[in-house]
A and B are shown apart, each in its own frame.
Chain A
Amino acid sequence: MKSLLLSLILAGTAACVATTRVATRAGTDFSRVQTILLLDSASASRAVTDAFARALLEKGYRVKVGNPDGAADLWMEAAVTQFTPDRKYLVPLKGNGSIVLYPAQEISGRSLYPSPTAASLPDAQVVISNAAVSLSVRLLEPRSGDLLWSGAVTYEGLDMDAAVEGSVASLLKRFPLKGAAP
């Protein structure tokens, strides 16, 4: 497995954390894949698994969900590596009264009452919030467990549904499967 991992070819813009990062095992033929098993995983929410299932069905695959078995051409394992349902930004007022996002200050936690002194911001601010999801996905060969493809992405949305949908769509665009970009 280690040698296989080492043989993975970086296919994306891995140096840039801003974009989807993917890697594919060299020489893998994905053209005959028809059935994909989405592995049940404690590290992926139901919403994420269902989003992948919908997207794969729309692409024409037969999709199964459950525990590992041999009746699939590929296993897909998804993990939510970061889940931020309510990321908030303080949007300060500029001196002339207009509002700017930059330089906004991202705040964490549930409090909407950061100390104005600590934040070095005027007391008249507005909060803008969005959700963010970081996903990591692996495609495995069922018989050997070989890692064939891996991808990771972080995506923001107006709410959690939009963030999940966007992150799944971003990864699917880079899948080495039907309808994917080369």
Chain B
Amino acid sequence: MKHFVALLMALMPMAATHAASTDTLQEGLRQANAGQWDQALSTLRQAAAADRGDAAAQTALGLAALQRQQYGEAQTALERALALDPQSETALFALGLLFEKQRQSGAARSAWQRLAAITRSSDLRDMAQRHLDRLE
């Protein structure tokens, strides 16, 4: 029992941190959805830093950074999101567009190939194939 209480005490700050980062993420998403991209980027940086293991926070930061043309930050966040959630179609879609913009054809092909392989959406699969046709 003593050990259980000690464990619980140890976990409580982590749970509080997770709840706080979730609130921050929700606020950042609200700002992004309202088109307040500068505020959203700042808020989502906090959310992503507070919980680096949260794929949603990393993805949201990546999309906000893309919107503000902070391409280096966007790539880092989206690749981290993909590492946390290898099935993230959002991250693959955004990375495909980003790598093409940066003329990184090999990396773009890889992103589109992965998206085409995992998506259940025929529209997304067609889109990915269209980009692969151009890049091959």
Contacts and interface: CB of A to CB of B under 8 A. Distances in A.
A120 to B, nearest CB: 15
Q: Which interface class (under 10, 10 to 19, 20 to 34, 35 or more) fits A? A: 35 or more
A170 B60 CA distance: 30
Interface string B117-136: 00111001011011101100
A135 to B, nearest CB: 13
Nearest to B61: A126
Contact of A99 (B30, B56, B67, B98): B56
A102 B124 contact: yes
How would you classify the secondary structure of chain B's contact residues: helix, strand, loop or mixed?
Answer: helix
A102 B34 CA distance: 21
B48 interface: no
A93 B90 contact: no
Contacts of B111: none
Interface string B45-67: 00000000011100110011011
Contacts of B66: 128, 158
B56 A98 contact: yes
B17 to A, nearest CB: 15
Contacts of B32: 126-127
Contacts of B100: 157-158, 162, 166
Interface of A: 16-20, 90-91, 93, 97-104, 112-113, 123-130, 153-159, 162, 166, 169-170, 173
